[in-house]
Structure 1
Amino acid sequence: MTTRSALAYCLAGAALLAALPFLLSQGLLNAAIQMLIAALFASAYNLLCGQAGMLSFGHAAYFGVGAFATVHAMNAVGGAGLLPTPLMPLAGAAAGLVFGGIAGWFATQRSGTYFAMITLAIAELVHSLAPHLKGVFGGEAGLSTMRMPAWGYDFGSTTQVYYLTLGWVLLSLALLYLYTRTPLGRLTLGLRENSHRLRFLGYNVHGMATLVFALSAMFSGVAGGLQVVSNESANYVLFEPALSAAAVLHAYIGGVQVFLGPALGAALMTFFGYAVSDLTRSWLLYQGILFVLVMMFMPTGLSGLIGAAGRLHGRYGLPRAMPAFVLALGAGAAASAGAVFLIELLQRLFSQDYRSLLRLDPEAPWPPVELFGQAWHASDPLTWAVPLLLLAAAGLLAWGCRRTLDRLAGGGPVAPVRGAKEELA
């Protein structure tokens, strides 16, 4: 993809995001705000993990510190003066930068697994101390604040908060991208590829790693500040390990090798959580399964899959590549339908409510399970045949996709598109 086409896609995406308030309800617009914040947090994390190759398991600490710094700033200055409401995330950025610089100085003394464990220990330390430092973190109740009018806006509507969040997210992503184009950003890749060679060439590797850590924490603090501006409150649960795990999951599902990959993964998974959490109790299981599948079969993430499809299109043309695309999409849809059917059926059969019904009358036949608007009997072979047939159809379609790609390549394996072939199949 050329620079001009990439810029065109980015501008089109920004235009679409700017139009969302006219297309979505207020409830969905709130979800879009959370998607933007998650995208910024994942991109900030990817600066440390994807660009510098330092896997952190405690990045929620800097998100939370930025959030609480923003709460205190909003309560202290009232959204007026030199720090009006639209500039409040700067307080989160400053707090994230300072705390990230201190924590990063200690954490980057080691590398690899030891670095990851130090970041986890720092985050757990903050998480355990937060409920007891009531003057700073508000105890278990947390702290609350209010958005105040500034620059002619009252920030009382979800639409205004959305545009404020969008502006900060786009600005932060632009700054992160510009950083990757600087000489220091190029050296950041050297930290990931061969830090020993950088040290041999005379660079201060520990100082560079600390700086990258602090910058990543700074943008994480911006994301935490936007969270407070949106919710007007902060609680110590912002330091929970689940938030750090979400950053890792979003980054790797989207693809850490592509700049906007983590943002894509965070947006999709956040939307997935909002859309599916009200429909099923097993939505976290689906997230875990998706993460495992991506790590096993698509290590480059969803952005890598999109890139592979683009390479196939560019090499063979749309008419010749279309059968492979259709078969791949059909295999994915059939596999998803079969897996969802099987998981939801088993979840209901093993639920506490269903087992209580069985205990009421052990001699009676098993009651039917309501699923997708229809009653399914566990003793009926058709109930189990449906998901198995869907999974079998998915396997058959995947095999057909692989054969189609082989025919496109002339009947044998093709080295230039092997990654695309594996990812689509």
Structure 2
Amino acid sequence: MTTRHLLLGTLCLGAAILAGLPYLLSAGLLNAAIQMLIAALFASAYNVVCGQAGMLSFGHAAYFGAGAFATVHAMNAVGGAGIVPTPLLPLAGALGGLLVGIVAGWFSTKRTGTYFAMITLAIAELLHSIAPHIKTVFGGEAGVSSMRMPSMGIAFGSTTEVYYLTLAWVLVSLVLLYLYTRTPVGRLALGLRENRHRLAFLGYDVHRLSVLVFTVSAMFSGIAGGLQVINNEAANYVLFESTLSAAAVLNAYIGGVGSFLGPALGAALMTFFGYAVSDMTQSWLLYQGIVFVVVMMFMPQGLAGLAGGSAMLWRKVGPLRLAPVLALYAGASLLLGGGTAFVVEMLRRAFSRDYRALLGPDSSAPWPPISLFGVDWAPFALTTWLVPIALLAAGSALAYLAGKQLRTLQENRQDDEIPASPDSLASSSITSAQEPA
């Protein structure tokens, strides 16, 4: 079985698992799955501009929001019956993102690098600022609400029906995005990332190509915004906030902008991470920032690059030799994560307003214990802070040991690939000597 067949089988299995989720999850978790799918499509659409064309956009929420408002107005048209049937409403979002993307892309792509990033950010902030004041389009601060109408014998009143609609659109959109990357325009987008000056020297209209790539990304971002409106049955100017644009950037880089499905993977995981952790702590945004910093420092190719490298090394050295290294990394991650969570939660509780109220006006009074992980900890006791220190030290030691063993495996693999016989060594030396410098 080839690698392509294995990958295709994995994708089909993943699609089958996604199709069976409504029978396995509660309504709340199923709604979280819808948000994960929408975030995955938005990050994949963003990666068309960022990962493939090398244009770092800081304002992609503008096209997500444009698609959302186009969809909600399409739902309210014709006396609430909608311009098109409910299953086709994301087409209105695609049109909204497309139109705004053409205008914004024409101006923003006249510059590159930091200037391009600042222009995209300014466009999104401009829409976010003026949207509350244009009530006829954006509904003011209250936004615009609507209702999903029955269509094709489906009521679209349950979360399960909305999930399947979202899943169908996300899968179709991802397939179309992948096919786009195989077209000549998709290939030329890589040239924009690598050397746009050489493309211009070869006779290509770099600005027109940049606008086309930007517009494709904006159109699929509008589809994601349309799916968001179908799920929530409302649109508000907060869809233009910079936090949504930042989420697309973070999710894409955490997943890995160098691979097609990397941003979708990162967006799905980080959306679920926020859904799960936000119920446990108020510092969940801080944890997201820590994850992003760790990924950028130690896994610059993202989670997809980590998975691909691990799979390649698994095939080269075998599971018996790689499994202990993976176990060490897993243990190091648990220890470092536990130590970090201990420090963050202790400091958050110590500086919270509720805890400061327990101290009273007498600053010399002893600080009451802080309840964390089912245990009461004295804030200034040495034994309290020895726990995170021990966890962080043990995690660092395991990470160092795992890294040392990983380097040993990589060196042994390289040694195995070098010809061992004198004849082969001589022939390889002669061949390298004959090659031009």
TM-score in same-fold range (> 0.5): yes
**Partners of 2:412 and 2:88 in 1: CA distance:** 59
Deviation at 1:399, TM superposition (A): 1.6
- TM-aligned CA distance change 1:414 to 1:260, over 3 Å: farther
Q: Distance in 2 between matches of 1:168 and 1:48?
A: 20
Task: Please state whether the residue corresponding to 2:66 is helix, strand or coil.
Answer: helix
The one-letter amino acid paired with 1:287 is: Q
- Matched to 2:180, the amino acid is Y
Quick check: 1:126 aligned with 2:114?
no
Structure 1: which amino acid aligns with 2:305? G
Q: 1:66 to 1:406 in 2, by over 3 A?
A: closer
- Residue in 2 that maps onto 1:331: 332
Residue 421 (structure 2) aligns with: none
* In structure 2, C-alpha distance between the alignment counterparts of 1:415 and 1:46, rounded to whole Å: 38
Higher mean alpha-carbon deviation, 64-73 vs 404-413, is at 404-413
Mean alpha-carbon deviation: is it higher for 292-301 or for 248-257? 292-301
Instruction: Look at both structures and tell me which one has the larger radius of gyration over its CA atoms.
Output: 2
Q: Distance in 2 between matches of 1:303 and 1:9?
A: 14
Q: Which residue of 2 aligns with 1:420?
A: none
CA deviation map 1:285-305 (0-9, x unaligned):
001111111111111011111
Tell me the secondary structure at the aligned position of residue 132 of structure 2: helix
Instruction: Give 1:422's aligned residue.
Output: none
What letter matches 1:55 in structure 2?
A: L
**Alpha-carbon offset, residue 328 of structure 1:** 0.8
In structure 2, the residue matched to 1:22 is: 23
Deviations 1:216-246 (A, max 9, x none): 0000000000000000000000000100001
Q: Could you tell me which residue of structure 2 aligns to residue 5 of structure 1?
A: 6
CA distance in 1, matches of 2:11, 2:5: 10
Q: CA deviation at 1:364?
A: 2.6
Partner Cα separation in structure 1 for residue 297 and residue 29 of structure 2:
32
- SS of structure 2 residue aligned to 1:194: helix
Asked if residue 234 in structure 1 is aligned to residue 235 in structure 2, the reply is: yes
Query: Structure 1's 410 and 69: CA in aligned 2 closer, same or farther, altered over 3 A?
Result: closer
- Name the counterpart of 2:381: 380
Rate the CA distance shift 1:213–1:407 in 2: closer, same or farther, 3 A: closer
Question: Is the contact between residue 325 and residue 402 of structure 2 (CA under 8 Å) also seen in structure 1?
Answer: yes
Taking structure 1 as reference, are residues 413 and 372 closer, same or farther at Cα in structure 2, changes over 3 Å only?
farther
Percent identical among aligned pairs is 67
Q: Distance in 2 between matches of 1:400 and 1:44?
A: 39
TM-score, structure 2 as length reference: 0.92
2:372 corresponds in structure 1 to: 371
Deviation at 1:198, TM superposition (A): 0.8
Hey, what's the Cα distance between the residues in 2 that align with 1:179 and 1:112?
24
Counterpart of 2:427?
none
Aligned residues: 416
5 Å-filtered alignment, 1:101-250, equals 101-250=102-251
Amino acid at match of 2:289: G
The answer as to whether partners of 2:254 and 2:292 remain within 8 angstroms in 1 is yes
Change (3 A) 1:415 1:179: farther
Residue deviations 1:235-280 (CA, integer Å, cap 9, x gap): 0000001000010010001000010111111101110111011210
2-side partners of 1:235 and 1:400: how far apart? 50
Tell me how far 1:378 sits from its aligned partner: 1.3
Q: SS state of the match for residue 370, structure 1?
A: strand
Equivalent in the alignment of 1:34: 35
**Which blocks of at least 5 consecutive residues in structure 2 are unaligned?**
418-437
Q: Which residue in the other structure is 1:43 paired with?
A: 44
Is the Cα contact below 8 Å between 2:316 and 2:413 reproduced in 1? no
Residue type at the aligned position of 1:346:
L
What is the aligned partner in structure 1 of residue 356 from structure 2? 355
TM-score normalized with structure 1 length: 0.95
The root-mean-square deviation of aligned C-alpha atoms, in Å, is 1.7
Contact 1:323–1:404, Cα closer than 8 Å, also in 2: no
Give distance in 1, aligned partners of 2:410 and 2:163: 47
Name the residue aligned to 2:424: none
Alignment CA distance shift 1:330-1:414 (3 Å): farther
Q: Deviation digits for residues 204-227 of structure 1, max 9, x if unmatched?
A: 111110001011000000000000
Q: CA deviation at 1:396?
A: 1.0
How far apart are the structure 2 equivalents of 1:77 and 1:317? 63
Contact 1:406 1:413 in 2 (8 A): no
The AA in structure 1 aligned to 2:323 is M
Conservation of the 8 A alpha-carbon contact between 2:74 and 2:83:
no
User: 1:251·1:265 contact (CA, 8 Å) conserved in 2?
Assistant: yes
Distance 1:68 1:309, change over 3 A: same
Runs of 4+ displaced beyond 3 Å:
77-82, 409-416
Aligned to 1:65: 66
Question: What SS is found at the alignment partner of 1:139?
Answer: coil
Residue in structure 1 matched with residue 98 of structure 2 by the alignment: 97
Query: In 1, are the aligned partners of 2:93 and 2:223 still within 8 Å (CA)?
Result: yes
CA distance in 1: counterparts of 2:163 and 2:379, whole angstroms: 47
CA distance in 2, matches of 1:79, 1:16: 35
Residue 170 of structure 1 aligns with an amino acid whose one-letter code is L
Q: 1-side partners of 2:388 and 2:112: how far apart? A: 45
C-alpha distance in 2 between matches for 1:80 and 1:342? 54
Alpha carbons of 1:2 and 1:132: their partners in 2 closer, same or farther (altered >3 Å)?
A: same
Aligned-partner SS, 1:140? coil
Unaligned runs of 5+ in 1: 417-425
> Alpha-carbon deviation of 1:403?
2.5
Letter in structure 2 aligned against 1:171: V
Task: Verify the 8 A CA contact 1:64 1:221 in the aligned structure 2.
Answer: yes
